[in-house]
Amino acid sequence: MDRPPVVALDEVSKSFGAVRALSGVSLRLLPGEAHALLGENGAGKSTLIKTLAGVHRPDSGRVEVDGSERRFSTPADALAAGIAIIYQEPTLFGDLSVAENVFMGRQPLGFGRRIDEAAMHARTSELFSRLGVRLDPARPARGLSIADQQLVEIAKALSFDARVIVMDEPTAALSAHEVQRLFGVVQALRAQDAAVLFVSHRLDEVFSLCQRATVLRDGEFVWSGPLTDETPDSLVRRMVGRELSQLFPKEDTAAGDVLLSVQRLTREGVFTDVSFDVRAGEIVALSGLVGAGRSEVARAVFGIDRPDGGSVHVRGRKLKYGSPTAAMAAGIGFVPEDRRQQGLVMDASIERNTALASLGRLSTFGLLRRSSERALAQDWAVKLRLKFAKLSDPVGVLSGGNQQKVVLAKWLARKPSVLIVDEPTRGIDVGTKAEVHRLLSELAGQGVAVLMISSELPEVLGMADRVLVMHEGRLVEELSRAEATEERVAMAAAGQAVTR
Amino acid sequence: MRNLLRWETALVFLLIVVALTGQVSTDGSFLSGGNLFYLGLDIGEIALIALPLTLVIVAGEIDLSVASVLGLSSALIGWLWNAGWSLELILPTVIVVGAICGAFNGFLVTKLGLPSLAVTIGTLALYRGLALVVLGDTAVADFPASYTAFGTTPVPGTNIPYPIVLAAILAVLFGVALHASSFGRSVYAIGANEEGARFSGIRVKRVKLILFVLAGAVAAIAGIVYTFRFSSARADNGLGLELAVVAAVLLGGVSIFGGKGSLFGVLAGVLLLGGLRNLLILQDTSTEVLTIVTGLLLLVSVLAPSITRRVGTLRKATP
Ligand SMILES: Nc1ncnc2c1ncn2[C@@H]1O[C@H](COP(=O)(O)OP(=O)(O)OP(=O)(O)O)[C@@H](O)[C@H]1O
Ligand SMILES: [Mg+2]
């Protein structure tokens, strides 16, 4: 452990107006290690990473690479110094192909300086196969699920052959299978002496991947050290500053009437013959690998996409195809997976985003009652422990986990009777995750039917009354709470379920 | 939001500068009651059309056919008048036709998913062509004085022309719709993130269709104003006016990419553009120069946001 660090951040501070995002934070990244960067939502992890990347300039403090001070002014500078970064929110170019996104700005050139498409696709496929990803390099990036977007970003970072790879919540939307492949790749990188900085709110991942960790709290450095003597509880204590129960299991409720009934729903080439019911008071989890079609089913139920066949009934009444407005009128709420594109209007304020799905209820004769709007946002900000400066700030300046809370607030504020949540706790820290789970459990207790898509197995096992598992567009398994174990869900997701 | 406020402050400041230089360079006639009346008349149609167009652009779309709708409605007035219709019947008919023109734009954009730029360039030519079919290159001028007085006399006891009164009333309505209603919130959300708006249950297509219909209807109203103001119904009335209207809206701080802008800024933009044009006319500037100035203003207003951003980052980068 006596080797000099490849990257050292020394007493780095950064403020945004009155918000002190970082004050005097230090971090040492050693060659060949996987280092976890931990902290609650808004603790300053992403800001620290952006300072390292040259996206932000530190107000004070030093960034050192290989022992000499560097001042990166753009991410390109950081890349040139061998630091590749996967940001928290994927930022792919929708109109370009997946391969072009991976090789953005440095496409392999062929004869006459023309882009060598074949070479580009081949190299992208090679990266994907290292990650175990099945994606067509030629397809456009638009329409990729958030997990696939994240995988493309990972492939892109790997393609640089960097010595330092920084990953800001790369696994937040990935299921166990993809996470294992990613960890395999990281181990290979470590063997080549690369350093990996890893951000995740899933502590089990941290323990299985990382050797050392650094903890931030409210922008301040708290602790750094080896993980050998730590436990998940001790880390949480460092992050939160107090004791915290980590998991909140769902309370038992008697299931009531069928509120949501999906019958033989089919979208050609995406999912086939999907049928299930969700009763009042029930939380039903839709599990499966990335790309199994879970989000697509949710989108079709909510009316974003038009199914080719089958039907959706809410309280026994057939829902109009392809109309989110009709779905909302029937009482469905839908927290989508991609907060940047689907969940939020990034430039609009926190309060406007919170109110956006409740406009009708907040207005009289079409005129918006500003005070009610503010009260609604204020109310939910407190309930979800949102970390913000002003409610009129654009939602885009919030930390990733806090943005997710606003998406949740927006839909919970509608008091839906059927709530569909797609990765509801993506990027949300341990403490708030328990809070969200308590909220979902409480909603179920009040008779709401909850359909939950989650890639995080502990969340699925802890929350769901029933687990439905999808594999390649079909429902392959249904497990009761008692039957659902990690193995059985994973087997079914991999397509090895005992057929029903 | 803060950027926007700064831009609007700058506009008000510019307005004062133009007013003062105008006042000095014309020996006091620029701000005289008589000239203000003509200035008001001159910007009447621009102000009217700019109102719905602001909403269209905030929603991330564009309507370049508005001046052609103005021409078509003028031509229709002449044709129906020649055919012996009463004006009480002609005016509502013309407004309905304008709304239908807007609905056709909206249909092509929302139902067929075509880009509004292409659609309305097409209908810009189409509606102007229809105007020529309806009236040819003749002019109809024998309207009753009670109607044409609308465009030549001020509200008694003031220097305010009637079209400005009309524009002011509509400005209040559109202002409330954009800034204080749930409809307005939907418009902003659509312009800033259309997919996000859809996921929030906003009826994106319906909102857009309504906006195009409003743009068509108000453009037809502007056609009525134009016709009586010059006491002349012609198919080529308002030719090229879309340039001035779009320039005024963008000058007012509305982002061409949608999602940003305020009606207050647009009104300031209309005044600024109108004031500059009026000042140049007072100094006997040719129409070519007027067009050039309008075009330059358009460019400036499109470039200004990216320039201020560039300057902002430069300032941040050099501590
Ligand atoms: N561009 C910005 N403008 C203003 N405030 C910002 C900006 N970026 C970050 N912040 C603030 O800085 C603080 C730290 O944010 P940061 O994104 O680093 O948190 P994080 O640790 O990555 O949290 P999460 O786990 O939710 O991703 C937050 O309070 C956030 O609101
Ligand atoms: Mg973050």
The 10s digit of each residue's pLDDT in B265-313 is 999 999 999 998 888 888 888 888 888 888 888 888 777 766 666 655 5
Residues with CB under 6 A from ligand 1: A 16, 19, 21, 39, 41-47, 88, 387, 397-402, 427, 429
Task: Give tens-digit pLDDT for A217-273.
Answer: 989 999 999 999 999 888 988 988 776 665 667 777 788 899 999 999 999 989 999
Query: Helix (H, G, I), strand (E, B), or coil: what is residue A299?
Result: helix
Q: Based on the domain organization, do A305 and A454 belong to the same domain?
A: yes
- Strands A466-471 and A474-480, sheet pairing: antiparallel
B183: nearest CA in chain A? A366
Q: Any bridge partners for residue A19, and if so which?
A: A16
Q: Can you give the pLDDT at residue B305?
A: 67
Cα gap A153→A172, rounded to integer Å? 13
Residue A145 exposure: Cα atoms within 13 Å on the Cβ side: 26
Q: Cβ separation of A392 and B201 shorter than 8 Å?
A: no
pLDDT at B319: 36
Query: For residue A133, is pLDDT > 70?
Result: yes
3-state secondary structure of A325: helix
Q: Answer with the residue of higher pLDDT: A136 or B303.
A: A136
Contacts of A445 (CB under 8 A, 6+ apart): A251, A253, A281
DSSP code, position A140 = B
Question: In this predicted structure, what is the pLDDT of residue A500?
Answer: 47
- Partner residue facing A368 (CB), from B181, B193, B199: B181
- Residues A314 and A409 grouped into a single domain: yes
What is the CA B205 to chain-centroid distance, rounded?
A: 23
Task: Identify the pLDDT of residue B3.
Answer: 59
Q: How far apart are CA A219 and CA A200, in angstroms?
A: 17
Task: Classify A441 as helix, strand or coil.
Answer: helix
Ligand 1 atom showing the smallest separation from residue A393 Cα? 4
Residue A135: pLDDT over 50: yes
User: Which residues from chain A sit within 8 angstroms of residue B185, using beta carbons?
Assistant: 352, 355-356, 359, 368
Strand partners, A421: A335, A452
Q: Using CA atoms, how far apart are residues A86 and B265, in angstroms rounded to an integer?
A: 40
Separation in Å, CA A271 to CA A266, A309, A445, A470, B59 = 6, 10, 31, 9, 34
The residue out of A193, A210, A240 marking a domain boundary is: A240
Q: Tell me, yes or no, whether A176 and A229 share the same domain.
A: yes
Are A11 and A160 members of one domain?
Answer: yes
CATH of the domain at A63: 3.40.50.300
Residue A232 phi, psi (nearest 5): -50, -40
Q: Which of A240, A266, A281 is the last residue of a domain?
A: A240
Q: Where does A369-448 show beta strands of DSSP type E?
A: 418-422
Q: Could you write out the DSSP letters of every residue in A145-167?
A: -HHHHHHHHHHHHHTTT-SEEEE
pLDDT at A432 (0 to 100): 83
Disruptive mutation site among A345, A370, A374, A412 for chain B (greatest number of B CBs within 10 Å)? A345
Mean pLDDT of chain A: 90
- Tell which atom from ligand 1 comes closest to the C-alpha of A399: 17
- Same domain for A289 and A189: no
Is the pLDDT at A64 greater than 60? The verdict is yes
A371 touches chain B (CB under 8 A): no
Query: Measured between alpha carbons, how far is residue B158 from residues A122, B153, B162, B164, B226 in Å?
Result: 76, 10, 10, 12, 21
How many angstroms separate the alpha carbon of residue A399 from the centre of ligand 2?
5
For residue A173, which of A149, A140, A157, A138 has the smallest C-alpha distance?
Answer: A149
Is A115 part of a structural domain of the chain? no
Chain B contact for A378, CB < 8 A? no
A121 within domain boundaries: no
**Residue predicted with more confidence, B119 or A438:** B119
Q: Whose CA is nearest to atom 17 of ligand 1?
A: A399
Of A92-106, A379-393, B39-53, where does mean pLDDT reach its minimum? A92-106
DSSP string, A215-234: EEETTEEEEEEESTT--HHH
Dihedral sign, Cα of residue A179, residue A182, residue A183, residue A184: positive
Give the separation between CA B260 and CA A76, rounded to whole angstroms.
30
In the DSSP assignment, the letter for residue A111 is G
Q: Which chain A residues touch B192 with a CB distance below 8 Å?
A: 345-348
- Substitution target from A356, A368, A395 for chain B, most B beta carbons within 10 A: A356
> Are residues A281 and A160 part of one domain?
no
Q: Which residue has the higher pLDDT, A215 or B285?
A: A215
Segment A385-399 shows an average pLDDT of 92
- Which H or E run contains A68? strand A68-69
Across the interface, do B195 and A341 touch by the CB < 8 Å criterion?
yes
Q: State which residues form the domain around A348.
A: 258-493
- How far apart are the CA of B189 and the centre of ligand 1, in A? 23
- Between strands A367-368 and A363-364, the pairing is antiparallel
> Does residue A159 sit in the same domain as residue A281?
no
Rounded to whole angstroms, the Cα distance separating A394 from A425 reads 21
Are A409 and A377 within 8 A, CB to CB?
Answer: yes
The count of CB pairs under 8 A between chains A and B is 75
pLDDT reported for residue A222: 93
For residue B193, give the nearest of A336, A345, A357 by CB distance.
A345
Which residue among A347, A348, A366 places its CB closest to the CB of B181? A366
Q: Is residue A1 part of a domain?
A: no
What Rg value do the Cα atoms of chain A yield, rounded?
23
- As given in the structure block, the two tokens for residue A94 are 């929708």
User: Residue B318: what pLDDT?
Assistant: 40
Task: Count CA atoms within 13 Å of residue A453 on its CB side.
Answer: 28
Compare all CA atoms of chain A with the CA of B199 and give the residue at the minimum distance.
A342
Please write down the HEC assignment for all residues of chain B.
CHHHHHHHHHHHHHHHHHHHHHHHHCCCCCCCHHHHHHHHHHHHHHHHHHHHHHHHHHCCCCCCCHHHHHHHHHHHHHHHHHCCCCHHHHHHHHHHHHHHHHHHHHHHHHCCCCCHHHHHHHHHHHHHHHHHHHHCCCCECCCCHHHHHHHHCECCCCCCEHHHHHHHHHHHHHHHHHHCEHHHHHHHHHHHCHHHHHHCCCCHHHHHHHHHHHHHHHHHHHHHHHHHHCCCECCCCCCCHHHHHHHHHHHCCCCCCCCCCCHHHHHHHHHHHHHHHHHHHHCCCCHHHHHHHHHHHHHHHHHHHHHHHHHHHHHHHCC
Q: What is the pLDDT of residue B198?
A: 95
Cβ distance of B203 and A392 shorter than 8 Å: no
Which is nearest to B241 in space by CA: B37, B40, B63? B63
Residue A181 shares a structural domain with residue A274: no
Contacts of B1 in chain A (CB under 8 A): 349, 392, 394
- How many separate domains does chain A show? 2
Q: Is residue A437 part of a domain?
A: yes
**Per-residue confidence at A181, pLDDT binned at 50, 70, 90?**
confident
Query: Among all residues of chain B, which has the CA nearest to that of A407?
Result: B200
CA of A41 to the centre of ligand 1 (A): 8
Is the C-alpha dihedral spanning A214, A220, A221, A222 positive or negative? negative
- Contact status of B261 with chain A (Cβ, < 8 Å): no
**DSSP summary character for residue A79:** H
A468-497 burial, b for 16+ CB within 10 Å, e for fewer?
bbbbebbbbbbbebeebeeebbbbbbeeeb
**Residue B312 has what pLDDT?**
55
Do residues A431 and A401 lie in contact, with contact meaning Cβ atoms separated by under 8 Å?
Answer: no
A contacts of B176 (beta carbons < 8 Å): 367
> What is the C-alpha separation between B113 and A244, in angstroms, rounded?
52
**Which candidate from B180, B181, B200 shows the least CB-CB separation from A356?**
B200
> CB-based contacts of A344: which residues, under 8 Å, 6+ apart?
A353, A395, A396, A403, A406, A407, A410, B193, B196
With an 8 Å Cβ cutoff, are A341 and B196 in contact? Answer: yes
Strand partners, A334: A420
* Cα–Cα distance, B255 to A233 (Å, whole number): 50
Q: Is A105 within the bounds of a domain?
A: no
In three-state secondary structure terms, A372 is: helix
Cα-to-chain-centroid distance, residue A460: 15
Please tell me whether residue A57 adopts helix, strand or coil conformation. coil
Residues of chain B with pLDDT under 70: 1-5, 305-319
Which residues 28-57 of chain A have a CB within 8 Å of chain B? Answer: 57
A99-to-A75, A82, A116, A245 alpha-carbon distances in Å: 20, 21, 11, 43
Alpha carbon of A376 to those of A81, A353, A472: distances in Å? Answer: 47, 11, 40
Q: Are residues A177 and A286 in the same domain?
A: no
Q: How many CA atoms are closer than 13 Å to the CA of A379, on its beta-carbon side?
A: 13
Handedness of CA A170, A171, A174, A176 (dihedral sign): positive
Residues A209, A289 within the same domain: no
Pocket test for ligand 1, best of A15, A47, A166 (most atoms within 8 A of CB): A47
Query: Given CB atoms, is A73 within the 8 Å cutoff of chain B?
Result: yes
Mutation target vs A (from B183, B187, B198, B200; most A CBs, 10 A cutoff) = B200
Assess contact for A447 and A260: CB atoms under 8 A: no
Q: What is the pLDDT of residue B317?
A: 43
Pocket test for ligand 1, best of A399, A426, A428 (most atoms within 8 A of CB): A399
Is pLDDT of A483 > 70?
A: yes
Report CB contact under 8 Å: A368, B185. Answer: yes
Q: Output the CA torsion sign for B195, B199, B200, B205.
A: positive
3-class DSSP assignment, residue A212: strand
Collapsing DSSP states into helix, strand and coil, what is residue A430?
A: helix
Final residue of a structural domain among A178, A211, A240: A240
Mean pLDDT on A75-84: 88
Q: Which domains can be identified in chain B, with CATH numbers? A: 2-313 (1.10.3470)
Is the pLDDT reported for residue A433 higher than 90?
no
With CA atoms as reference, report the closest residue to A250 among A99, A42, A43, A461: A461
Instruction: Look at ligand 1, atom 31, and give the residue with the nearest C-alpha.
Output: A398
Burial of A383 (0-12, 13-18, 19+ CB in 10 A): middle
Say if CB A41 and CB A56 are below 8 A apart: no
The reported pLDDT for the residue numbered B293 is 83
Is residue A406 assigned to a domain? yes
H/E element, A60: strand A60-65
Which residue's CA is the closest to the ligand 1 atom numbered 24? A41
Query: What pLDDT does B316 receive?
Result: 46
Asked if A356 and B203 come within 8 Å (Cβ–Cβ), the reply is no
Q: What are A364's strand-pairing partners? A: A367
Tokens 């392959």 map to which residue?
A: A476
When mean pLDDT is compared over A113-127, A278-292, B96-110, the highest value belongs to B96-110
**C-alpha A376 – ligand 1 centre gap (Å):** 23
Nearest CA in chain A to B195: A342
Min distance A165 CA to chain B CA atoms (Å): 25
Of A192, A118, A142, the residue nearest A126 (C-alpha): A118
Query: Which whole number is the average pLDDT over A118-141?
Result: 88
Measured distance CA(A496)–CA(A253) in Å, rounded: 31
Which residues of chain B are within 8 Å of residue A347 when distances are taken between CB atoms? 192, 259-260
B92 by Cβ neighbours in 10 Å (0-12 / 13-18 / 19+) ranks as exposed
Could you tell me the sign of the dihedral formed by the alpha carbons of A382, A384, A387, A389, in that order? negative
Tell me, what's the pLDDT at A426? 87
In a domain, A343, yes or no: yes
- Residue A99 maps to a domain: no
A312 and A177 co-located in one domain? no
Q: Which residue of A has its CA nearest to B192?
A: A345
Rg (CA), chain B: 20
Least CB–CB distance from B181: residue in A57, A347, A367: A367
- Are A160 and A298 part of one and the same domain? no
pLDDT tens-digit series, residues A399-408 = 988 999 999 9
